[in-house]
């Protein structure tokens, strides 16, 4: 089983619908992230959380919300989906990045969302 | 100006040659630099990280950092077809906090 699991892997929805993307991890990491990837635009940070009580906005948080339900779970919601939110979404985790730790991001397999 | 800039490519390199990928960044406070490889349809995976000026080698990969010029590069020696992927440069102010990614360079190794 993958260490960082995203559900659903693919989702097609209509404009105005509420969508939730879920992420769970078994790596024991404190830090979790949601990124969005569009062709030619690289990875853009939506939200991140450094522990259960910590939520921070990233570069492109408008239209999105998140919930950190537990250390291992971090969900992303689109309250009212719009077509320009069609993208590939990645959840990622990392350790604290202290000492010799690289601070490497470990990514889930991605959730492809299409908003019609 | 984007914070982390990469040539989008595609960059085509013959098998066995050296592939050179470049990245510039705008934040002089950046301290951590990462190269991720992403195969088509897959998630990114870390291949190199570097914190100090100079070169860091790991097998066929060498990362080069020049903080004065705000420039980081990745060299891939003896390029193989399996190296064909998009390479993402990422920069962070400290450790792993809030990585900023470049748009990626698509590399194709020609057999």
pLDDT digit string (tens) for B19-77? 999 999 998 888 889 999 999 989 999 999 998 999 999 999 999 999 999 999 999 99
For residue B69, count CB atoms less than 10 angstroms from its CB and return exposed for 0-12, middle for 13-18, buried for 19 or more.
Answer: exposed
Q: Give how far Cα B69 sits from Cα of A10, A40, B35, B54, B90, Å.
A: 42, 25, 18, 12, 16
Inter-residue contact A49 to A97 (CB < 8 Å):
no
**What integer pLDDT is reported at residue B93 of this predicted model?**
78
pLDDT-derived band at B97 (thresholds 50, 70, 90) equals low
A54 close contact with B: CB closer than 8 A: no
* Residue A42 to residue B32, Cβ atoms within 8 A: no
Which CA distances in Å does A63 have to A41, A58, B30, B47? 18, 12, 29, 33
Contact: B95, A103; criterion CB under 8 Å: yes
List A106's β-bridge partners, or say none. Answer: A93
Q: Which residue of B has its CA nearest to A96?
A: B96
Contact with chain A for residue B40, Cβ under 8 A: no
Tell me how close the Cα of B80 comes to any Cα of chain A, in angstroms.
24
Q: Measured between beta carbons, which residues in chain A are less than 8 angstroms from residue B45?
A: 107
Q: What is the mean pLDDT of residues A87-113?
A: 83
β-partners of residue A21 are: A76
Q: Are A61 and A47 in contact (CB under 8 A)?
A: yes
Cα angle A87-B30-B4, degrees, rounded to a multiple of 5: 40
The predicted-structure confidence for A60-78, as pLDDT tens digits, reads as follows: 999 999 999 999 999 999 9
């Amino acid at each position: 089983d993958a260490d960082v699991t995203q559900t659903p892997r693919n989702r097609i929805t209509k404009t105005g619908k509420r969508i939730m993307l879920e992420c769970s991890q078994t790596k024991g990491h404190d830090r979790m992230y949601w990124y969005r990837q569009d062709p030619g635009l690289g990875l853009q940070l939506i939200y991140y959380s450094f522990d259960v009580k910590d939520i921070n906005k990233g570069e492109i948080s408008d239209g999105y919300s998140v919930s950190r339900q537990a250390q291992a779970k971090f969900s992303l919601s689109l309250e009212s989906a719009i077509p320009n939110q069609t993208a590939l979404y990645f959840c990622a985790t990392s350790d604290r990045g202290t000492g010799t730790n690289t601070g490497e991001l470990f990514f889930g397999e991605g959730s492809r969302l299409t908003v019609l | 100006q984007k914070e982390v800039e990469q040539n989008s490519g595609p960059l085509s390199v013959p098998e066995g040659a050296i592939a050179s990928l470049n990245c510039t960044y705008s934040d002089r406070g950046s301290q951590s630099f990462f190269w991720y490889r992403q195969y088509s349809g897959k998630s990114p995976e870390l291949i190199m990280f570097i914190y100090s000026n100079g070169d860091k080698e790991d097998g066929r990969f060498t990362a080069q950092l020049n903080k004065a010029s705000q420039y980081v590069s990745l060299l891939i020696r003896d390029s193989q077809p399996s190296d064909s992927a998009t390479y993402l440069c990422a920069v962070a102010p400290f450790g792993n906090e809030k990585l900023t990614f470049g748009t990626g360079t698509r590399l194709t190794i020609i057999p």
